[in-house]
Amino acid sequence: MTSFPTLEQIIGHTAVLANLQRAMADHHPGHAHLFFGPPGVGKATVAAAFVQALFCPAKGTAGGSGCGQCPSCRKVAQGNHGDLVRVVMAEGKTRIGVDQVRQLAGFFALTPMEAPWKVAIVDDAATMNEAAANALLKTLEEPPARSLLILVTRQPGKLLPTIRSRCLKTRFSLLAPGEVQRILSGLTQLDDETLREVVAAGGGNVGQALAFSQGELPALRQKFCQEMVDLPTVTLGCLFTMAEQWSPPEKFALVSSLLRKWLQERIRAVVCHPDTQEKGNAITQEDWLKAIVFIEQLLRQAVVVNLNRRLVLEAAFIRLARLQGAAY
Ligand SMILES: [Zn+2]
């Protein structure tokens, strides 16, 4: 797989792809789509592959997908197709501004140069400021002929309800570990063990797993290991700070994975080298097992029923600190 897959080369997102193929088979892709779901799962990649498929003159022979080879597909991949515009937050800004959205009206007013449609992809659409959102709403209320707008966001709830209601909605989910592994093995040269580790650390987020694979992981792993060494002796205040630092969504899957691995190593040490335990202060295999069950349940609940991640980590760290002799 190249770094820019065509629609049929996209890994995972089966239901999403089926919906998009259906929209194309109707010979009208709709005027506005909203792609939403967690960060790093490939929403923007699918959006670009969808545009490739809409534009590609050879798609009849490519099973409804863009061929990936023709001048049109290449221009979409390189970001220089005249009938495609991408709206992203300007450098140094925190919101998409109204001028950027107004320029879209001018873009849509022109007839397509070579493709059947004129398409605009708005990345991080929820970062539009109020004026930008209202300007976009005008375009949505009176969609120009042969125009297609694709809004991409991780926070659909922050878009105006009037914008959301005018879009065909496509929900993206986290990818399965096997899918992330296949994507990453096409993009990186990692050995199998590192690959498995970054996939677990990414927690279904390809972007995050990729960031970990590009060097962030060793430093974070080292930080975690040092914190586990210090855990029984740090103050409760320090423990709360640790929990806080690991609780953002992009770090939670990583700390869960590191914690599981660390616990497995503890229990392996007790089983394989029982004589290295200090006499009178030995933590038994059963103690570790109970802690593992307790922590595993917490980590799962954090994901499945959306428990507060910071509180989950506080509870896990306190349990481990107490197990190793902390007095609180
Ligand atoms: Zn093509």
Give the pair of three-digit tokens for residue 92. 């140094």
- How far does residue 142's CA lie from ligand 1's centre (Å)? 30
pLDDT at 13: 95
Joined together, the tokens standing for residue 26 give 């109707």
Q: How far is the CA of 81 from the centre of ligand 1 (A)?
A: 12
Q: What is the pLDDT of residues 41-73, one digit of tens each?
A: 999 999 999 999 999 998 766 567 899 999 999
Helix boundaries (H) for the chain = 14-25, 43-55, 71-78, 98-109, 130-141, 161-164, 177-187, 192-202, 206-211, 217-230, 236-246, 249-272, 285-304, 309-323
Looking at the domain assignment, is residue 2 inside a domain?
Answer: no
- Contact by Cβ (8 Å): 53, 6: yes
CB crowding 270-307: b at 16 or more within 10 Å, else e: beeeeeeeeeeeebeeeebeebbeebeebbeebbeeee
1 is a domain residue: no
The predicted pLDDT at position 63 comes to 64
Last residue of a domain, one of 127, 156, 171: 171
- Residues around the ion ligand 1 (C-beta < 5 A): 56, 58, 66-67, 70, 73
pLDDT in tens, 272-319: 876 665 555 578 888 999 999 999 999 999 888 888 999 999 999 999
Full residue range of the structural domain in which residue 128 is found: 7-171
Distance 70 CA to ligand 1 centre (A): 4
Q: Which long-range contacts (CB under 8 A, 24 or more apart) does 37-40 make?
A: 37/154, 37/171, 37/172, 37/173, 37/174, 38/154, 38/172, 38/173, 38/174, 38/204, 38/205, 39/154, 39/205, 39/207, 39/208, 39/249, 39/250, 40/202, 40/205, 40/206, 40/207, 40/208, 40/209
How far does the centroid of ligand 1 lie from the alpha carbon of residue 151, in Å?
23
pLDDT at 1 over 70: no
* Dist. CA 306 → ligand 1 center (Å): 42
Distance 66 CA to ligand 1 centre (A): 5
Domain count, the chain: 2
Domain limit, last residue, from 171, 205, 235: 171
pLDDT above 90 (res 134)? yes
In a domain, 252, yes or no: yes
The arithmetic mean of pLDDT across residues 103-116, rounded, is 91
Say if residue 235 is in the same domain as residue 88.
no
Average pLDDT over residues 163-187: 93
328 lies in some domain: no
Let me know whether 136 and 285 are in one domain.
no
